[in-house]
Amino acid sequence: MTNAKVASGPLSHLRVLDLSRILAAPWAGQILADLGATVTKVERPGAGDDTRSWGPPFLKDAEGNETKEAGYYLAVNRGKRSITVSLDTPEGQQIVRDLALQSDIVLENYKAGTLARYGLDEASLRKLNPRLIYCSVTGFGQTGPRRDQPAYDFLIQAMGGLMSVTGERDGQPGGGPQKVGVPIVDLMTGMYTAVAVLAAVARRDQSGVGDSIDIAMLDVQVATLANQAMNYLVSGKVPQRNGNAHPNIQPQDVYACADGDAILVVGNDGQFAKLCAVLGHAEWAEDERFATNAQRVRNIQILSAMLRHEFAQRPRADLIAALDGAGVPCGAINSVPEVFEDPQVKARGMLKYVPHPCGVQVPQVSSPMRFAHTPLQDLAAPPLLGQHSRQVLEELGYSAERIDQLQAAGVL
């Protein structure tokens, strides 16, 4: 069984050689695959991508037996083809060179200098294919004192300042630094990587020459400090952890209703006036302490106490319905199962099931991108380890006998 699909999507003309593993660069590869690119994932024989073993949970086959396909791996590798190649053999290195000759983009996330030992670095592959877009994704980049050090999302969330502004305030119950509940630096790094390689492709279409791209997870985290970074750079005041409260826009926080918590997200003075009307306190919108966002930020402790008192008197569903009707953003805090039961999420088709080679339908969270004229690639299940090794080598012109020899020698 193969997961090969008829090419569709806006990138159906591009071929990607994915030498990466774990999450950041593979996330970029999955984005490109969703957009229709042919993505060939090169994995270690016998082991594959590290995330294949990052469970439980593991996918169960048609008989209910646990497979070797971890949920973590299944989240990051749909739409790709898997070929196993031993990079420390001359034959394996030649296979990668052959793939690079037919590729538009190379994604890799080895430590700086590792692939040069195999003759598979940017300079070596560009000699074979000058039009190649070669993108290296690492924790700290190709330069600087930490260039040789490994990194993981958790470490970068800490080093890059994110944990200093995430979590409850010191001195409060549960206070202290917290990481984000998903590997957000990896995911954002994958997003930046996809944008960067597509920008390089656009330039190549004009110049005819490829490019080399250096993406560092720490750089990405520093860049995505966004308003918190600029708050500090403009004011000199060090941002602090503030629980769920927004540092610049108020009121935005979690408020306890009579029967559960609700999120309130007031984005402007007009929405605040509507909130006050729903709560039966229209006069609050005229109070000089709260009339503008800047004043509400300065006086949020007073305002928040007033709001908490009012929210605590009301059933959550009734209050959310009233605020929705008034155009004030407010909602419940959904669990992950509740997310996929949300009518809006269902209407957008964000959960799909696709056939998996182990004989079951594997769930996949859909791409959020929607195109009117170039529909995205149909979802294909994340591949089994080496599922497409023979197919890919046959496309490169390898004979059946030669493929058998490579398998017997442990190259595949």
Query: Is 147 exposed, middle or buried, given 0-12, 13-18 or 19+ CB atoms closer than 10 A?
Result: middle
Task: Please report the pLDDT score of residue 7 as a whole number.
Answer: 58
Judged against a pLDDT cut of 90, whether residue 1 lies above it is answered with: no
pLDDT in tens, 238-287: 999 988 888 899 999 999 999 999 999 999 999 999 999 999 999 999 99
- pLDDT score recorded for residue 286: 96
Q: 357 pLDDT exceeds 80? A: yes
Average pLDDT, the chain: 95
The single residue of 49, 153, 186, 219 carrying the catalytic annotation is 186
For residue 146, the number of C-alpha atoms closer than 13 Å in the C-beta half-sphere is 12
Burial class (CB in 10 A: 0-12, 13-18, 19+), 136: buried
In whole angstroms, give the CA distance from residue 112 to residue 95: 22
Q: Name the band, by pLDDT with cuts 50, 70 and 90, for residue 2.
A: very low
Whole-angstrom distance, CA of residue 116 vs CA of residue 127: 13
DSSP letter for 340, please: H
Residue 6 CB: number of other CB atoms within 10 A?
7
Judge whether residue 339 has pLDDT over 50. yes
Mean pLDDT score, 178-185:
96
Q: Is 231 exposed, middle or buried (0-12, 13-18, 19+ CB in 10 A)?
A: middle
Percent of the chain whose predicted confidence (pLDDT) is above 90: 92
Local structure of residue 248 (DSSP, 8 states)? S
Domains and CATH numbers, the chain: 15-223+344-408 (3.40.50.10540), 252-338 (3.30.1540.10)
User: What is the mean predicted confidence (pLDDT) over 341-347?
Assistant: 96
> Residue 298 CB: number of other CB atoms within 10 A?
14
Number of helical H runs and strand E runs in the chain: 16, 13
Q: How much is the average pLDDT of 9-20?
A: 96
- Contact between 316 and 257 under an 8 Å Cβ cutoff? The reply is yes
Q: Which amino acid, 271? A: Q
Torsion over CA: 147, 149, 152, 156 (sign): negative
> Would you call 153 a catalytic residue per the annotation?
no
Measure the CA dihedral 242/246/251/252, to 10°: -100
Place of tokens 């739409």: 79
Residue with the bigger pLDDT between 57 and 4: it is 57
**Is the pLDDT score of 340 beyond 70?**
yes
Token pair for 137: 């994704």
Q: Is the pLDDT of residue 3 over 60?
A: no
Long-range contacts of 113-120 (CB under 8 A, 24+ apart): 113/148, 115/19, 115/87, 118/87, 118/88, 118/93, 119/93, 120/19, 120/87, 120/93, 120/96
**Three-state SS for 307?**
helix
Burial of 299 (0-12, 13-18, 19+ CB in 10 A): middle
pLDDT in tens, 398-410: 999 999 999 999 9
For the segment 55-70, the average pLDDT, to the nearest whole number, is 95
Q: What is the pLDDT of residues 109-126, one digit of tens each?
A: 999 889 999 999 999 999
Ramachandran area for residue 254 (φ above 0: left; ψ -120 to 50: alpha; else beta): beta
